[in-house]
Structure 1
Amino acid sequence: MKQRLAAVLAADMAGYSRLMEADEAGTLARLRTHRIELIDPAIAKNEGRIIKTTGDGMLVEFQSVTDAVRCAVEVQQRMKRRNSDVPQDRRIEFRIGINVGDIIFDDDDIFGDGVNIAARVEQLADVGGICVTAAVATQIADRLEVAIEDLGEKALKNISRPVHLYRVGFDDTVLAPAANAADGKRTASKPTIVVLPFNNMSGDPEQEFFADGLTEDILTELSRRHELFVISRNSSFVYKSQPVNVREVAEKLGAQYLVEGSVRKIGDRVRVTVQLIDAVNDAHVWADKYDRKLDDIFAIQDEVTAAIAATLPGRVEAAQRDQLARTKPANMAAYECALAAKVLHHRSSVSDNAQAQALIDRAIELDPGYAHAHAWRACILGQAWVNCWCSDKDAVWAQVNSELERALALDDNDADVHRILAAVNVNNNQLTTARYHQERALSLNPNYDLVVVQQGELLTWLGRPEEGVEWIRKAMRLNPHHPARFWSHLGKAHFTARQYGEAIEAFMHLSAMDHVQHAFVAACYGCLGDDIAASAHMKQVKALAPDFGIEPFLATLHYTQESDTQHIREGLIKAGAGEIVSTANDLEKRRNLG
């Protein structure tokens, strides 16, 4: 037996028996997922060692008290975010207790007073909370920026003496010790929006429920968008059935934008009107109306909610961009820097990408804990990597993965984090992992055009291009001002589905094509037997990529079906790609000989 000083973390799942009785298989599956994705990696990252597990709990040893608390904070923070859209009665939540003292180690187990106290302290922790002993609190007071609440001395079961306990509070800035006080200060000035209760204009009491339900659904859907700060229902419903002064409401609730609308029943139809108002400038930003047949009022509610939730963020972002044009970058807050970086990223040029990198770096400098900015730094660097706009591709790729790891640790309920993780895993040909992150992104934000279009891309790689076309077209409907690359995704999906005319039409929407897009168009014409058009596009491929070769090109694609890979190989051969590569190789040989 060995004895040494160590920190012991005891964790226990609240309501385990109740959850197992209600849904044994589902509870075990969710608990296993939390272990694999969150808890075990957090322990490993903070140099902990799992000593013992039970069905609903575990004992973990740490050599550092600060590592133990940092691990506990990360687990509880991220579990809180994971549970944000889970019904209360199905949530998996933990209590955590931490103690430091002499521990006896014997046969990969631990014993002693220090272990017993940790287990008893855990029982007094709040659900989703952390409770620590005075010895732990003393050591972390000057090392971690956490709130510590004195609970006084408590009698613990089977412990003869009272033990002084503290509750650890935490927020989004406490995953690691801050280098200075400014590091913990959040500066992401997201646009704040309030959705006022929709007015029932029909006089039909049944429509009152519809109007309130519609308002609540819109609130819920908008709250999924991490780029918006949405005022809660409790605040907005204070103004139900009251005359509203836009400026006064906005000032009182601290909102920049207001959404208001009305519901009117006309015969067997229902009409919903909605408008977005910039309260600061007292200007109408956007308005629309939805006229539907009153067959299924709940289906209408879902349809209108989806349409509004899909459209509003884009209109808010457009309004923000207009303001951004009048703002000097040096004065931007983190959110505004991130927004400007995204706009530049979508332009897809070398110079715009460089500016986007500078702005997203500034956003993270202003707010190191801004998960959305870390995700977009990965996306912007990924664009540079894909297009070879960087001198050291290995270093940039490592940074992409590092940024995503940081973003996921800060907020694993951000759809962009999972969207970009899905894209990275597609690039690594790890499509099973990509599917997990893509489905997670869709569940977090089903009306986000970048997530929806990526679903179409993924389905195309998986050999389901007809479904991919549907998803890509849906993304185009969600965002009529979508980036030009959506047409490229659509063209590739149509080609994979052997729909060559539709593929060519999609690619023709691009004002300029790169060598990859020209290659797909050449393959389309090759499959159609149009040698002249195929040859013309292969010449463009040669001009843009003199070293183009069929096999290296195919290696950049991510088809899971060999038949799809063979399909584009045959299309390129019919287009004369083999001849062009031979000519290029001959020229290279002549240059070397000369």
Structure 2
Amino acid sequence: MVGSPATATLILNKVVVDLEGETLRLENGDAIALRPQAFAVLRHLVQNANRLVSKAELLEAVWGGAAVTDDSLVQCIHEIRRALGDERYAVLATVSRRGYRLSLERSDESALGGPSIAVLPFATMRGDEPNDYFADGLVEDIITNLSKIPGLFVIARNSSFGFRGEKADLRTIAAELRVRYLLQGSLRQSGGRLRINAQLVDGASATNVWADRFEGAAADVFDLQDRLTEQIVGSIEPSVRRAEIERAHRKRPESLDAYHLYLRALPHAHANTPVETDKALQLLARSIELQPDYVAAHGYAAWCYEQRYLRNGLDPADKATALSHADIALGINSDDPQAMSIGAFVRANLTRDYDAAVEVLDRALALNNNSALAFGFSALVSAHSERHQRAVEHAHKALRLSPLDDPLSYHPYCALALTHLFAGAFADAARYAALAVRANPGFSIPYAYLAASHVGLGNVEAAHSAARRLIEVAPNFSVGGYVRTNLFQPYLMDALAAALRTAGLPE
């Protein structure tokens, strides 16, 4: 099997094939009719392109062993060729008495394995030459920085700039470039300010996945270009991740591969509750079974086992398994900043080797300085190890890069709450703890920070209220169990434990 195409669209003989929507259309957008059964045959042939597919295999794949004659398959093949305009059998060939082979150029396969994106030239006002240069420079910087995101296939500038000024349907452009997503935008200047509108578009449906507006003073164009690049790229990474998760949930269970199993695990891992963690681990185990060297899946497996260890009885087996997965995520050949960040966080919490963790986090951020996830984990490690200034800086950077609905925004809020709590700034600690609770109401630890902060402020009733909510979320929580996690220096943990007892939490 050449590959299991994950991309939504591709072009066969100038016909746009939408595998998810199960539709065919011409490049001008006109629909081409094809029966569902014939489309199912086409899908299997595309998924097994450039190899001989026997009649028996197609009959089993499409009809599931039901009693049908070869005539049903022959009729589907005829309809596919007619829909593709393949009168000469150049795309779909018959191999006499054996089966069929669908030809897909190797270049068509390059972007089929995971998320892919092309950044189109940003539109400017006609004749606005200075802003044309600025817009092109901005797009080039965006392409360069997107290319640092592991697993994201980014089309080179020369290819995407070939569509400058074209009015073609976005679905056709995505199909021609063989990408899943398009980033488009426009630039306008008013007085001394530049305004940029940007949209991330699903290439299959031409619908917006994300859109935002950015602006700044035009006086220092290079500084503005850097800041806009950071903001746009930082928003795109979690937006693509969220869209990929939604796409994985739409896939049929029997067609899930390692990548899509991993994507399905992410929302459960992000929830950070015992029940959801177990769901994530089941999916991650299946992903790793299919692809044992998948470092991204190992990174999340490490984090999930760390979650289970810290919040489900401190089982030594969970700790050992978490460290084993973290070691793979941090292996000598790992260049995935996300997996490196998670692995470093897990090792920091379970071994308290904070210096080594910070070194890895710095390497991860050097690989991708626009990862809100990496900055969030770095902020937590820094807060746990009393690197207060770094914790605050990295937490705010994560929040600046992250959309408001990023499922991991509770990480930087937790880091800020803890840092201010340790510093005795209880009002700020309470504010950030409340934001962490709002970002993830099912995660128990922010309630502990909130309760301790209110104790520091002398708000006994508010502290008791936070403690009650903590027990509702985590009925087995105890102060003694939390102390045994050994996450902080003893004097800090003793002070936090004393506050939690004052809030009324059980020993």
Determine if the TM-score, normalized by the shorter chain, exceeds 0.5: yes
- Equivalence for 1:442: 365
- Equivalence for 1:162: none
Report Cα offsets for 1:385-425 as digits up to 9, x if no partner.
Answer: 222279xx333333323323333447422112221222123
In percent, how many aligned pairs have the same letter? 29
Q: 2:429 aligns with which of 503, 521, 525?
A: 503
Letter in 2 for 1:465: H
- Equivalence for 1:527: 456
Matches within 5 A, 1:157-556: 189-201=113-125, 203-388=127-312, 393-409=315-331, 411-427=333-349, 428-465=351-388, 467-477=390-400, 478-483=402-407, 485-486=410-411, 487-509=413-435, 510=437, 512=441, 516-534=445-463, 548-549=478-479, 553-556=482-485
- Equivalence for 2:47: none
Q: 1:469 touches 1:494 (CA, 8 Å); kept in 2?
A: no
Once the two structures are TM-superposed, the CA of residue 377 in structure 1 deviates from its matched residue by 2.2
- SS of 2:160's equivalent? helix
Moved more, 245-254 or 401-410: 401-410
- The structure-2 alpha-carbon separation of the partners of 1:194 and 1:308, relative to structure 1 and needing over 3 Å to count, comes to same
Report Cα offsets for 1:22-49 as digits up to 9, x if no partner.
Answer: xxxxxxxxxxxxxxxxxxxxxxxxxxxx
Partners in 2 of 1:240 and 1:186 — Cα distance? 23
Once the two structures are TM-superposed, the CA of residue 353 in structure 1 deviates from its matched residue by 2.0
- The structure-2 alpha-carbon separation of the partners of 1:377 and 1:515, relative to structure 1 and needing over 3 Å to count, comes to closer
Q: 1:415 touches 1:441 (CA, 8 Å); kept in 2?
A: yes
Letter in 2 for 1:493: T
Where in structure 1 are there 5+ consecutive unaligned residues?
A: 1-184, 582-594
Q: 1:466 touches 1:497 (CA, 8 Å); kept in 2?
A: no
- SS of 1:261's equivalent? strand
**Alignment root-mean-square deviation, CA:** 3.3
Q: 2:125 touches 2:188 (CA, 8 Å); kept in 1?
A: yes
Q: 2:269 touches 2:277 (CA, 8 Å); kept in 1?
A: yes
- Equivalence for 1:28: none
Once the two structures are TM-superposed, the CA of residue 215 in structure 1 deviates from its matched residue by 0.9
Partners in 1 of 2:123 and 2:494 — Cα distance? 58
Letter in 1 for 2:312: C
- The structure-2 alpha-carbon separation of the partners of 1:256 and 1:501, relative to structure 1 and needing over 3 Å to count, comes to same
- The structure-2 alpha-carbon separation of the partners of 1:373 and 1:557, relative to structure 1 and needing over 3 Å to count, comes to same
- The structure-2 alpha-carbon separation of the partners of 1:565 and 1:434, relative to structure 1 and needing over 3 Å to count, comes to same
- SS of 1:265's equivalent? strand
- SS of 2:236's equivalent? helix
- SS of 1:199's equivalent? coil
Partners in 1 of 2:477 and 2:213 — Cα distance? 53
Partners in 2 of 1:573 and 1:354 — Cα distance? 30
Q: 2:464 touches 2:504 (CA, 8 Å); kept in 1?
A: yes
Q: 2:416 touches 2:429 (CA, 8 Å); kept in 1?
A: yes
Report Cα offsets for 1:139-181 as digits up to 9, x if no partner.
Answer: xxxxxxxxxxxxxxxxxxxxxxxxxxxxxxxxxxxxxxxxxxx
- The structure-2 alpha-carbon separation of the partners of 1:233 and 1:471, relative to structure 1 and needing over 3 Å to count, comes to same
Once the two structures are TM-superposed, the CA of residue 481 in structure 1 deviates from its matched residue by 1.2
Letter in 2 for 1:490: L
Partners in 2 of 1:281 and 1:537 — Cα distance? 45
- The structure-2 alpha-carbon separation of the partners of 1:348 and 1:205, relative to structure 1 and needing over 3 Å to count, comes to same
Q: 1:202 touches 1:263 (CA, 8 Å); kept in 2?
A: no
Moved more, 334-343 or 277-286: 277-286
Q: 2:330 touches 2:343 (CA, 8 Å); kept in 1?
A: no
- The structure-2 alpha-carbon separation of the partners of 1:351 and 1:328, relative to structure 1 and needing over 3 Å to count, comes to farther
Moved more, 323-332 or 528-537: 528-537
Letter in 1 for 2:189: K
Q: 2:430 touches 2:453 (CA, 8 Å); kept in 1?
A: yes
Report Cα offsets for 1:286-339 as digits up to 9, x if no partner.
Answer: 322222221111111111111110111222233333333332333123222111
- The structure-2 alpha-carbon separation of the partners of 1:399 and 1:515, relative to structure 1 and needing over 3 Å to count, comes to closer
- The structure-2 alpha-carbon separation of the partners of 1:514 and 1:413, relative to structure 1 and needing over 3 Å to count, comes to closer
- Equivalence for 1:47: none
- The structure-2 alpha-carbon separation of the partners of 1:460 and 1:354, relative to structure 1 and needing over 3 Å to count, comes to closer
- The structure-2 alpha-carbon separation of the partners of 1:187 and 1:379, relative to structure 1 and needing over 3 Å to count, comes to farther
Partners in 1 of 2:477 and 2:190 — Cα distance? 65
Once the two structures are TM-superposed, the CA of residue 436 in structure 1 deviates from its matched residue by 0.4
- The structure-2 alpha-carbon separation of the partners of 1:322 and 1:446, relative to structure 1 and needing over 3 Å to count, comes to same
Once the two structures are TM-superposed, the CA of residue 431 in structure 1 deviates from its matched residue by 0.8
Once the two structures are TM-superposed, the CA of residue 555 in structure 1 deviates from its matched residue by 4.7
Moved more, 473-482 or 340-349: 473-482
Aligned residues: 391
Letter in 1 for 2:310: V
- The structure-2 alpha-carbon separation of the partners of 1:410 and 1:459, relative to structure 1 and needing over 3 Å to count, comes to closer
Once the two structures are TM-superposed, the CA of residue 360 in structure 1 deviates from its matched residue by 1.6
- SS of 2:250's equivalent? coil
Q: 1:459 touches 1:467 (CA, 8 Å); kept in 2?
A: yes
Partners in 1 of 2:151 and 2:121 — Cα distance? 22
Moved over 6 A (4+): 185-188, 539-543
- The structure-2 alpha-carbon separation of the partners of 1:267 and 1:345, relative to structure 1 and needing over 3 Å to count, comes to same
Matches within 5 A, 1:541-580: 548-549=478-479, 553-559=482-488, 564-565=492-493, 567-568=495-496, 571-572=499-500, 575=503
Report Cα offsets for 1:447-479 as digits up to 9, x if no partner.
Answer: 222211222222322324355244324423413
- The structure-2 alpha-carbon separation of the partners of 1:354 and 1:470, relative to structure 1 and needing over 3 Å to count, comes to same
Moved more, 215-224 or 308-317: 308-317
- The structure-2 alpha-carbon separation of the partners of 1:403 and 1:553, relative to structure 1 and needing over 3 Å to count, comes to closer
Partners in 2 of 1:380 and 1:547 — Cα distance? 18
Q: 2:195 touches 2:214 (CA, 8 Å); kept in 1?
A: yes
Q: 1:188 touches 1:333 (CA, 8 Å); kept in 2?
A: no
- Equivalence for 1:147: none
TM-score (norm 1): 0.59
Partners in 1 of 2:498 and 2:279 — Cα distance? 40
Partners in 1 of 2:293 and 2:471 — Cα distance? 45
Letter in 2 for 1:504: A
- The structure-2 alpha-carbon separation of the partners of 1:245 and 1:535, relative to structure 1 and needing over 3 Å to count, comes to closer
- The structure-2 alpha-carbon separation of the partners of 1:229 and 1:380, relative to structure 1 and needing over 3 Å to count, comes to farther
Letter in 2 for 1:403: H
Once the two structures are TM-superposed, the CA of residue 277 in structure 1 deviates from its matched residue by 1.7
